[in-house]
Amino acid sequence: MDHFLYRDGSLYAEDVPLAEIAAAVGTPFYVYSTATLLRHFRLFDEALEGTEHLVCYAMKAASNQAILKTLAQAGAGMDVVSEGEYLRAKAAGVPGDRIVFSGVGKTAAEIRTALSGGVRQFNIESEPEMQVVSAIASELGVTAPITIRVNPDVDAKTHAKIATGKSENKFGIPIARASEVYALAASLPGLEVIGIDVHIGSQLTELAPFELAYRKVAELTEQLRSEGHSIRRLDLGGGLGIPYARSNEAPPLPVEYGALIKRTVGHLGCEIEIEPGRLIAGNAGLMVSKVIYVKSGEGRDFLILDGAMNDLIRPAMYEAYHDIVPVIETAPGAEQQPYDIVGPVCESGDTFAKQRNMPKLTAGDLVAFRSAGAYGAVMSSEYNTRPLIPEVLVHEDQFAVIRPRPTFDEMINRDTIPAWL
């Protein structure tokens, strides 16, 4: 459930009409609902009630500091994957001991920054990385808390570009080698091995792959304990999917996911961490765009929008489906027609939907892309020298621009011309 509903024929974000935001900031723009962000965070938090836990929001999904602050104030930790994300989380007021550092290739500079500023744990992805963390921690005279990410070789049954738990993927160490790698970790200075980490992929719409992975983690916990390691924290990753096509998708709920966690690893007495991103931010954000032209083509009509693939890349990159709805509600039974919904960028890939049934629209009409809060703004680019679109946060009847649209001068003046030109 989210807080984007029609009222008196017009789509609102909480108590603010989207048309009012469009008039104030121009289109296209992203808009997030505070109530939805908090609701989704709390669903996870409540699903793990009764178990010592921390929900670490995977901030790669939507990393504006206003979003981070909203979640952190409600008690969320953060899962970060770069120095930039680490510093952004700190800037939003998240204390180091609530920041988990994930990522396949942490550089020495990144490790140094996190060790100096405080970190809850590093999720180590390889032996060479472990050695670098050990060396830097020793040099700084500190101890780095670590888990090791194991690759359980489980098929997450999701889009190939976002599956991470198969042995052919670049992530983690093969679970079969865990004994050896944990022994190495225990022998290195500057490290404190505290647990195990696993993350098998994103947009999972079934619980079975989680169940397989978590059972393997439970077995591994017992094995590693018998080998003398103190395994007291399990980081179970993110990945729970969301309904993109509301009419016919119903992925498992956080409460069911929480019950699965308790069932598979609850008996081990470990502190549980999870790293959800998409489920917290995805349906808490929309991209609002305006129809520039309606163009009649050969046997099809195109809705040409002012938003494009550089603003929301998911359809071009993952063949992702997003519900697209008119901001002004059409009367029930009003005539519909199929449109190809496209942006103005000169690539055929700049297509949001093909032959999508929509009410009849005309130039100037606003449309909203649902489920665009996660992996939307963060993946946007300035391709075609198109400015990054603004982000707006709504809280009840208030709204605020949380990232303004840059001016063309700001964008153009970032280039520097070499002396020889």
Catalytic residue numbers? Answer: 346
Distances (CA, A) of 171 to 25, 148, 155, 233, 269: 41, 11, 13, 20, 26
Nearest approach in angstroms of CB 143 to ligand LLP is: 23
Q: Which stretch binds ligand LLP (CB under 6 A): 4-12, 199-207, 211-219, 295-303?
A: 199-207
In terms of CB distance, is 291 or 378 closer to ligand LLP? 378
Nearest approach in angstroms of CB 121 to ligand LLP is: 13
Under the criterion CB under 6 A, does residue 315 sit at the interface with ligand LLP?
Answer: no
Nearest approach in angstroms of CB 414 to ligand LLP is: 25
> In a 3-state reduction of DSSP, which class is residue 8?
coil
Q: Indicate the DSSP class of residue 407.
A: P
Under rule CB under 6 A, how many of the chain's residues touch ligand LLP? 20
Instruction: List CB contacts of 20: < 8 A, sequence separation 6 or more.
Output: none
Under the criterion CB under 6 A, does residue 238 sit at the interface with ligand LLP?
Answer: yes
In terms of CB distance, is 236 or 291 closer to ligand LLP? 236
CA distance 306 to 291: 6
Under the criterion CB under 6 A, does residue 63 sit at the interface with ligand LLP?
Answer: no
Nearest approach in angstroms of CB 283 to ligand LLP is: 12
In terms of CB distance, is 302 or 318 closer to ligand LLP? 318
Do residues 32 and 399 lie in contact, with contact meaning Cβ atoms separated by under 8 Å? no
Under the criterion CB under 6 A, does residue 162 sit at the interface with ligand LLP?
Answer: yes
In terms of CB distance, is 193 or 279 closer to ligand LLP? 279
Among positions 74-93, residues that touch ligand LLP (CB under 6 A) are: 79
Closest C-alpha among 92, 93, 128 to residue 111:
128
Q: Which stretch binds ligand LLP (CB under 6 A): 134-142, 195-203, 246-254, 293-301?
A: 195-203
Give the orientation angle of helix 254-265 with respect to helix 34-47, to 10 degrees: 30
Nearest approach in angstroms of CB 332 to ligand LLP is: 33
| Binds ligand LLP by CB under 6 A, chosen from 70, 102, 113, 221 | 102
In terms of CB distance, is 28 or 201 closer to ligand LLP? 201
Nearest approach in angstroms of CB 263 to ligand LLP is: 20
In terms of CB distance, is 152 or 238 closer to ligand LLP? 238
CA distance 213 to 233: 16
Under the criterion CB under 6 A, does residue 309 sit at the interface with ligand LLP?
Answer: no
Q: What is the DSSP string of 339-405?
A: EEEE-SSSSTT-EEEEEEEEE---TT-EEEETT-SSSSGGG---GGGPPPPPEEEEETTEEEEEEPP
CA distance 92 to 72: 8
Under the criterion CB under 6 A, does residue 375 sit at the interface with ligand LLP?
Answer: yes
Under the criterion CB under 6 A, does residue 318 sit at the interface with ligand LLP?
Answer: yes
CA distance 96 to 77: 9
Under the criterion CB under 6 A, does residue 172 sit at the interface with ligand LLP?
Answer: no
**CB count in 10 Å sphere of residue 86:** 25
CA distance 272 to 177: 23
In terms of CB distance, is 388 or 401 closer to ligand LLP? 388
Under the criterion CB under 6 A, does residue 307 sit at the interface with ligand LLP?
Answer: no
CA distance 140 to 361: 62
Give the orientation angle of helix 83-91 with respect to helix 65-73, to 10 degrees: 60
Q: Which stretch binds ligand LLP (CB under 6 A): 180-188, 233-241, 245-253, 383-391?
A: 233-241
**Unique residue bearing structure tokens 């665009």:** 372
Under the criterion CB under 6 A, does residue 40 sit at the interface with ligand LLP?
Answer: no
Under the criterion CB under 6 A, does residue 70 sit at the interface with ligand LLP?
Answer: no
Nearest approach in angstroms of CB 297 to ligand LLP is: 29
In terms of CB distance, is 146 or 358 closer to ligand LLP? 146
Under the criterion CB under 6 A, does residue 191 sit at the interface with ligand LLP?
Answer: no
Token pair of 228 as six digits: 């003398």
CA distance 62 to 341: 24
Nearest approach in angstroms of CB 153 to ligand LLP is: 16
CA distance 297 to 359: 18
Query: In the complex, which residues of this chain contact ligand LLP (CB under 6 A)?
Result: 58, 61, 79, 102, 162, 199, 202-203, 237-239, 275-279, 314, 318, 374-375
